[in-house]
Amino acid sequence: MSDKLNKTNVMRVLDQHGIRYTPRDYSHTGAVSGADVARALGLDPDAVFKTLVTVAGSGEHYVFMVPVERELDLKKAARAVGEKSIGMIRQKELLPLTGYVHGGCSPIGMKKPFVTVIDETAQLYDTVTFSAGKIGFQVELSPDDLRRVIDFAYADICE
C-alpha cells in the first residue's frame, strides 16, 4: 500500500516505528463480522483478532484482543487485569474514548494508552491480523512487532 492516501493512522504509526506489516483490504467484500473478514481475506479466523474495549467496576478502561470467532470471558478478563468485574463499554462511548468506530477499533493509536491483554492463543502464530483503525482495513504483523508499539500481556481470556 504505497499510496499515502490509503494508509490508516495505524499504518502510519507502524511505519514510524519501522515495523513491517502486511496491509489487508476487505472493503470490497461486504464483510460484516470478524469471521466474515477472516473468510474474505482467506485467513485462519483463529489468527484474526477483534479489539474489545471494556470498563471495570473501578471505572478504569481496558482493551482485550480475542480471535474473531471467540467471545471474551468477562470473568477471566477481570482476573487478568486485577479487577472484580468488567463489562463492555456502550458502542456510543467507543469513538470519544478511543478515536475509533465500532468495526474499526485497533489497539494501536488510541487517544490514550490503555492496559491491553491479548488472548494467549496469539502466541501460537507467527503473525496475527487485526483492524488497521478503519472499517475495511486490517494489518498483519508478528506479536513481537506489535509489542514494539503497544505494551500488552497475554492471558487466557476467552470463553
Cα–Cα dist 6/134, whole Å: 11
Length of the chain: 159
Q: What per-residue confidence (pLDDT) applies to 33?
A: 84
Buried b (16+ CB within 10 A) or exposed e, 2-27: eeeeebbebbebbeeeebebebbebe
pLDDT digit string, tens, across residues 28-44: 666 578 888 898 899 99
Cα–Cα dist 79/82, whole Å: 5
What residue ranges of the chain have pLDDT lower than 50? 1-3
Domain of residue 121, CATH code: 3.90.960.10
Q: What per-residue confidence (pLDDT) applies to 36?
A: 86
Q: Print the domain residue range for 18.
A: 4-155
| Domains: count for the chain | 1
Cα–Cα dist 76/145, whole Å: 26
DSSP 8-state assignment for residue 102: T
